[in-house]
Amino acid sequence: MIKIKLFRKNRESPTTAYTLVKIDGIHRFRLPAGPWRAAEDPTCLAAYDVVMANVRRVIEAKWRAVDHDPRIRAEIVTPAPYGMTVPHGDVLLVLDTLTAAGLTNVSFEGTPPPLSRDRVRE
């Protein structure tokens, strides 16, 4: 399995917040800071492309190491507390990168919703 975790860092500040991408707990990549705007800003999109090309190289190397076994799956994880504010666009970029590398068996693990006040009192 190839596990990719996404965390939103500096999330208190919209201008400096960024998504950290970790692959198998070894490789770390920092996506551009600020609100997600890759779809509308060509400069931002170019910065994302540079980082995601490096992410893809690591994914392809890991998949090549297991002889492109179709049983190998990838997992995109956004763990609490820093994963729940990762922009949807960042998750989709990682998914697109996985499928472009040839991995189509992808699962997701998101952050569970917070407990309701009633459940906290029980």
Residue-level pLDDT at 3: 96
- CB 111: neighbour CB atoms within 10 A? 15
Residue-level pLDDT at 40: 77
Predicted model pTM: 0.85
What tens digit of pLDDT does each residue of 15-24 get? 899 999 999 9
Asked whether residue 122 carries a pLDDT value surpassing 60, the answer given is no
Handedness of CA 50, 55, 61, 67 (dihedral sign): negative
Residue-level pLDDT at 27: 97
State how far the Cα of 113 lies from the Cα of 108, in Å rounded to an integer. Answer: 15
Outline where the chain has alpha helix (H).
42-65, 88-101, 117-121
3-state secondary structure of 5: strand
Find, among 54, 41, 68, the residue nearest to 97 by Cα: 54
More confident residue, 115 or 55: 55
Indicate the domain borders of the chain: 2-111
